[in-house]
Amino acid sequence: NTVSTVCSCLTSHVAMIHNYGQTPAWHSDKKWGVYRHRITTDKHPLVRGMNTKFDVIHSRHRDVTPEQYRAAGLNILVSNEEVGVHLASSPDGFRQIFLQGHPEYDILSLLKEYKREVQNFIEGKRPDYPPEPAHYFNDEARAITDALKYKILAGQSVEFPDEEIAKTLDNTWTDSARSLIAAWIGLIYQVTHVDRRKQF
């Protein structure tokens, strides 16, 4: 009965299976990091006025390809060549909004994921040392993580340098995320019926 629903990451994949018969592909290598995206159309009100290029965080093993979105008749609004579609809408343009990325992540979210994966390696829960999230660490942060990796592989007992790495991080995605959600709420306000018992 809602006017519009935002589906994020895994929820988006479930909706694609349930509503459009499009099953995400599983990848053994995790797509994670900060990726520069481009708006594919400036006609849709959700992206009108946004920067034509902006960063989005992704963190997932599954993927719905651009071809699958098109086959389902969906509107692709924002994408990246490396990680694919970030933002799409249902054919009507608004009843369902699909996000494959994580615009809600804060500056430390990927760092916490990376720390978890490093800890999994130390505890033998994963066979390989985890790769770093793409385009997330700068040179200073990579120097810290390289030193950490060297010590761990050498069998030394270490404490994960959370605070040291956190000081080097930059947030380049929150403004665009806020713009998107503000536009979405604004559209809901415009199209929702004054009588709450009616949808539009």
Q: How far apart are CA 200 and CA 97, in angstroms?
A: 17
Q: Taking Cα atoms as reference points, which of 162, 179, 167 lies closest to residue 103?
A: 179
Catalytic status, residue 82? no
Q: How far apart are CA 134 and CA 103, in angstroms?
A: 16
Give the tokens for residue 65: 């390809």
Q: How far apart are CA 85 and CA 101, in angstroms?
A: 8
Kind plus residue range of the DSSP H or E element containing 10: helix 10-20
Catalytic status, residue 9? yes
Q: How far apart are CA 51 and CA 176, in angstroms?
A: 8
Residue 57 CA neighbour count, 13 Å, CB half = 23
Give the tokens for residue 179: 């713009």
The catalytic position among 37, 44, 86, 102 is: 102
Q: How far apart are CA 26 and CA 43, in angstroms?
A: 32
Cβ atoms of 50 and 79 within 8 Å: the answer is no
Catalytic status, residue 140? no
Enumerate the active-site residues.
9, 102, 104
